[in-house]
Structure 1
Amino acid sequence: MKIVKGFRISSNENYQLNIINVMKHAIRNFSRQEIVSRKMDGSMHRYTYKDSYNRMERLANALNSIGVKVGDRVGVLAWNHYQHFEIYYGLPGTGAVMVSLNLRLSSQDLTYVVNHSGASFIIVDEDLIPIAESIMFSCKKVKGYIIITEKDLSEIDTKLNPCYSYEQLLNNASLHYNWPYLDENSAYAACYTTGTTGKPKGVYYSHRNAYIQTIVFAAQFSMTVEDVVLQLVPMFHVLGWSKPLAGAYAGSKMVFAGKWSLEDLEDLTNIMVQEEVTVSGAVPAVLMAMLEFIRKLDKKPDLSNTRLICGGSEPPIALMRGFWDETGGEIIHSYGSTEAMAITTLNFFKPWLRKELSEQELWDLKKKQGTIAPGLDVKIIDEDFNNLPFDGKSSGEILLRGPWITQNYYNAPMTKDKFTEDGYFRTGDAGTLDSEGYLKITDRLKDVIKSGGEWISSIDMENVLVSHPGVLESAVIGIPHPRWDERPLALIVLREEYKSITKDDLKKHLSTSFAKWQLPNKILFVDSLPRTSVGKLDKKVMRAEFNETYSSD
């Protein structure tokens, strides 16, 4: 892409956007703001921004003392807690690179990520030591392990060697640190994709990428010092959807959920009420489970001041409306990816649309992913790379370009076809953009069902199925068919109290939204649906299991 240089002036173009400045400015303006972290025993650790920053300085000195240098990559295998927040700033502030390690990856994929990134040290939570031990002999370049624990190292039985105590390193380190003035295009962090095909691919974010995205996200989501941010999204997943950065930039109170699972929904719901959480987020599967828990409570929590960002896949209307009706909490649809730093769109109602649309039309609008974040370019292309109009009807592949959209995968030359010569990232998602600027994902290109020359959206069909009161979860996949190329197959998890529902009941429900030829040939009831390490439906596994379903039709 050609850059045209205009009339040059003496601007401060050499001022570098370093992420550590987000925290330096936060402790200048909000030093007494609280940071709360749920510990392993369920108790809450509390301290302030200033306390956290002091530990970040100690961490930086500690890392330098064991040999971490500018440009080194350091893996982080940890839950959502205050130490992880310290690492978000203290580690990259030294000029080293934070490599987020997805603790749900297989040992084989995790080994690949550590070796591909060239990580020289790994910071690991005590209860995650077995994961680190499972890859240690295959990761020859790792020089040492830093264990986050409240115990003395002598009390920990581990094969990791050499190992250091996170807390002891900080206790022994000097308080003040002279942060280097880094080139803003230096790498801040790396996240690896967890796609269902091939090896994980490395996406490296520069300090400039992360800084600009932080400002835009905080501004677009209207985050302020009055907000209380609950970090539910794993901090190893696309920078925790940027909330640890945007929250600090805005001076918000930060609440970290610690180690949690769907078994901890009561505890997490109580935290949302007790800490007066106003901002959080999760994938639909987590919010659906939380809604199911809340529905069984006699006294519903009041979440009327809470905004819940939901991404990863499209949240069904039944989920968004259910949260609103039960708690007053608003689920805000978002769209993003590892390559686009999570928050690419947010769905807010425009004032004129509030006046013009009916209540049902507004709920239908919430199904769309939202408007594109300021600063990003977008276009929709057909199979011949022609630009499609923004008419809300013309569906094609979504391409994105902007100051935090990646332009390549790290050390992966075979993936160049995912990026265009003029700087766009090919998302692999099919969608439309309407005249108001709202993006609607119609499907992943690989998940679109092509039947008899026509396309059927699996996402739309899944959401209609979930709108039935008896359906807890649904997945729709395209299965090879000898006559029609592909035909839809619906996999359904029923609610316990609706086990008497029949396949004909669900086909009748679908027929209100889909033509007869679009309806799935078969509907199968299953106990559960396979998911990826980040909670998305794993349709690759489903297609493999049910690939022969229509072979004899």
Structure 2
Amino acid sequence: MSAGAASSLSFSGRLAPPRRPRAGRATRGDREGTWLPYYRTQLTMPALLDRAALHHSETMISTRVSDGLNYIITYGTHQMRTKKLASALTMLGIQKGDVIGSFMWNNSRHLQIYHGVPCMGCVLHTINIRLHPEKIAYIIQHAEDVALFVDESLLPMIAKVPKEAFRNLKLLVICGKDERPPRNGVKGCVLPELSGDTKILEFEDLMKMGDPSFAWPDLDENDPMALCYTSGTTGMPKGVMYSHRSQYITVMGNLAASQQGFRPIDTALPVVPMFHAMAWGIPYAALTVGCELVLTNEYMSPNDIISMIKDFRVTVLSGVPTIWQGLKRALQADPEKHKKIKGVFTRGTVGGSKFAIDLLRWFWSEWGVEVIQTWGMTETNPLGSATRRMDGQDHLNFFSDEHLKTVGRPVVGNEFKIIDPDTGEALPRDAKSVGELLVRGPAVTTAYYKKIGKTPKSFVNNWLNTGDLASISQHGYVTIHDRAKDVIKSGGEWISSVDLENTIRSMPQVRLACVVGVPHPKWDERPIAVVELEEGKTVLSLTEVRKHCAEHFAKFQLPDDVLIWAKVPVSGTGKIDKKVVRAKLAKLKYVLPALRQARRSKL
């Protein structure tokens, strides 16, 4: 193509990524005479929402409400309501860049906020409903929320948050219960203490103000669209800002066949909360590809979930390990009653913490469900790695436990490496060397919001230090051994608390298990197990636990004590809260049995 021909080309829209020629130009390649004209589409949330409404307008979004009933709308109606929502907020003075909070269950109104807020150029701040009021107050203040949407059933929790947290709040929207307005109106609700300037509206009254023909503003893919906070298990929660581009890339990762592979013929049930890392991007991915979407609302018991799987013929489910453990118990209790889900419910994703291999094998062998192990963090937006490994029983039988316990390979675009914690030197990818896991990629953050919580080790040359100890095989499979802060060092040898927990949890008496290190004068630390028993079980001895673990661990790695607690503390993201466990042990002035005996012998 000649230069003259190129100059006559006309383009609309934007061309090329940053640092390349501006929109409307054909671009010259590295070699003279090579021209690279193309149209650059901004990777933004409106593009995904509008695509869903255009191609899948009749696809259903179903929300479970009380008495086993369901509230159902279509993608087309969903888009119309998101536009009305954005229009109404704009009329009330909400501007591009403002941060808008949500304190809600997984339901259709929350999904409308998921789309409407980012599409109008604002930032959605999803607030973890399981945090302590002190931490809720901190993140509302830190995020500087100007509007807040709250489900009616969660208002008593918000009412415990002190008034100072709401100093920037201009609007409080009450979202009712079960997709209905509050039974006694807004005035009959339990409200937090607010300043006199804060406007309070019911969700549907807000929607009546909106215009369904509202036009989305022009957005740049690097504009912020969501603000998520870590669970704060090591201190106060830290904020991570997601851009339109980073979320778009996460959605594409969810759609990849080699990872989670959502398809138009699927019905997706994300049990992972929408307040946790944007529900792993699953609501956006489902709408993008045209899946039917089922939302749990506040009805999240194992039997509720199984009921939804049956009612909607759910094909794929996503949740943390405790959700899968609950499903196993319910399915085991009455397999004949639930046999209709076989062959329909065929796969799921698990993340949040390490998944027991025996549980993975059980779901496949007994129910034909492929459980895809994923790994990620709030900081990775959140999908870091995921791999589908099984196309049939032969594949499951072929893979060793060592292979199955990996969290797969990095998603496309992500890079992983491990380093020596002391020297910072890179370690070999030999599946044996264990070091600190570092990650970087197009959806991985390089700094915390407002830089609060940043430490010298958190971010180095755009690499995120995850705080996990891991090994990587020559083929790129990643095995997470433990959190660096949770690994137990006994007599100079490392003991994985996570591996012990999964092994103990595989015992039929055990519902949850937490392993922590406690001080020892000779060995520095020794592991103990804190367990929560299954309903109806009351006894579990140290001898039983050590015998069970001895099949997989060396003698020095076996726990020195087993404590049975009524409840093992769980964080808002479904993980064992070891900080709370350690604090309780400290308050109890816990001492290992052998050391207690030694003290008595000296007296």
Q: TM-score, normalised by structure 1?
A: 0.93
Runs of 4+ in 1 over 4 A off after TM superposition: 3-6, 8-14, 496-501
User: In the alignment, is residue 406 of structure 1 matched against residue 445 of structure 2?
Assistant: yes
Q: Does 1:157 align with 2:189?
A: yes
Q: Is 1:104 equivalent to 2:130 in the alignment?
A: yes
Per-residue CA deviations over 1:229-265 (Å, capped at 9, x if unaligned) read 1121110000011100111111111111111243xx2
Pairing of 1:149-298 with structure 2 (within 5 A):
149=176, 150-151=180-181, 153=185, 156-159=188-191, 161-219=198-256, 220-262=259-301, 265-297=302-334, 298=336
Q: Does 1:376 align with 2:406?
A: no
Give the equivalent residue in structure 1 for 2:91.
65
Q: Which residue in 2 is equivalent to 1:427?
A: 466
Structure 1 segment 298-377 matched on structure 2, within 5 A: 298-301=336-339, 302-304=341-343, 305-349=345-389, 359=397, 361-362=399-400, 364-377=402-415
Candidates 591, 595, 598, aligned match of 1:549: 591
Give the secondary-structure state (helix, strand or coil) at the position aligned to 2:514.
strand
Alpha-carbon distance change, 396 to 25 in structure 1, aligned in 2, over 3 angstroms: same
Cα RMSD, aligned residues only: 2.3
Aligned: 1:31 with 2:57? yes
Q: Who wins on radius of gyration, i.e. which is larger?
A: 2
**Alpha carbons of 1:253 and 1:362: their partners in 2 closer, same or farther (altered >3 Å)?**
farther
Tell me how far apart the structure 1 counterparts of residues 458 and 486 of structure 2 sit (CA, whole Å): 21
Partner of residue 68, structure 2? 42
Question: Per-residue deviation at 1:331?
Answer: 1.7
In structure 1, the gaps of 5 or more residues are none
8 Å CA contact 1:146, 1:166 repeated in 2: yes
Question: In structure 2, how many angstroms separate the alpha carbons of the residues matched to 1:171 and 1:405?
Answer: 39
Quote the residue 1:145 is aligned against: 172
Normalization by structure 2: what TM-score? 0.86
Identify the residue that residue 121 of structure 2 maps to in structure 1. 95
CA deviation profile, 1:193-224 (whole Å, cap 9, x unmatched):
11212111000100011011111221232211
Matched, 1:7 2:30: yes
Aligned mates of 2:202, 2:585 — CA distance in 1: 48
Q: CA deviation at 1:386?
A: 0.8
**Which residue of the partner structure matches residue 436 of structure 2?**
397
Contact 2:127/2:275, CA 8 A, preserved across alignment: yes
Query: What letter is aligned with 2:514?
Result: A
- Deviation per CA, 1:17-71, whole angstroms, max 9, x where unpaired? 1111101111111111111111245311112110110111111101101111001
Q: 1:453 aligns with which of 486, 492, 495?
A: 492
Question: How many residues are treated as equivalent by the alignment?
Answer: 547
> Against the structure 1 CA distance between its residues 308 and 350, is the aligned structure 2 distance closer, same or farther, given a 3 Å change threshold?
closer
Per the TM alignment, residue 416 of structure 1 is displaced from its structure 2 partner at its CA by 4.0
Distance 2:153 2:396 in 1: 51
Q: Pick closer, same or farther for the CA change 1:151–1:492 going to 2, 3 Å.
A: closer
CA distance in 1 between counterparts of 2:524 and 2:273 reads: 39
Shift in alpha-carbon separation, 1:151–1:526, aligned structure 2, 3 A: closer
Aligned to 2:147: 121
- CA separation in 1, counterparts of 2:295 and 2:390? 32
Cα distance between partner residues in 2 of 1:209 and 1:94: 17
Alpha-carbon distance between aligned partners in 2 of 1:115 and 1:472, rounded to the nearest angstrom: 37
- Long gaps (5+) in structure 2: 1-17, 21-28, 193-197, 599-603
Which moved further from structure 2: 158-167 or 172-181?
Answer: 158-167
